Structure 1
Amino acid sequence: MLRSTYPVLCSEHVEASSRFYRDHFGFEATFESDWYVSLRHPGSGTELALLDPAHESVPPGYGTPARGVLVNLELDDVDAVAARLEAAGVPVVQPLRSEPFGQRHVIVRDPGGVLVDVITEIEPAPEFLAAFGRDA
């Protein structure tokens, strides 16, 4: 029986990445060492972990930092969060904008290089309505 699933992101900057998710998004550590940090958001139960790619638990040849990964964080008010992130000096790689497929979002980069897509759902344009399931 599956009990949980969560991403483990390889980061050469585990401590800085952990601080990023705590300070800017309210995650809390459930386990913390210098090579691995497990995080959980107290409001949603969302989890993610950070792992030093040089750690011995990583199989040989796979010790590379996370690249090509986009972590989506859906929030109630992306405009307020985007302003707060920018004021804090978080690197913005795609400015705040609304998309016809039903998202208002900003994409930032965490200290380990992972892209974080901060999203608030908005009404999609009519041409995208059919793409959503009945219960969406």
Structure 2
Amino acid sequence: MTIRRATPDIRTDDMESSREFYKLLGFEEAMDLGWVVTMASPSNPTAQVLLVGPEAEQLQPDMSVEVDEVDAVHDDMVAAGADIVYALRDEPWGVRRFFVRDPSGTIVNVVNHR
């Protein structure tokens, strides 16, 4: 398995203020789906912050990990008895993902871009 990136998923009630804050740190907007915005470093595109607005689904991850083989990671997690809290699926914006709860209660979005 290859990890392509790991990013914090930051919940915000004020998307515009959060976007402007991370721009001050040098991030640029890489994707905007309305309810989620990806801010990425222009010099290191895998250095990212995901901003998650209040319009998002009720269950939201605390971090995202992009992998090369999401189905294989899912199979390994299921075999290990991990707590899958959002079933493996293809999303309309072009990713395949699932959410798993780690032993400390952190929800991790395991994702692959299609």
TM-score interval, smaller chain: 0.3 to 0.5
What TM-score do the two structures reach when normalised by structure 1? 0.40
- Which protein shows a greater Rg? 1
Higher RCO, 1 vs 2 (CA within 8 Å, ≥6 residues apart): 2
Length-normalised TM-score, structure 2: 0.47
Query: Which of the pair is proportionally richer in strand?
Result: 2
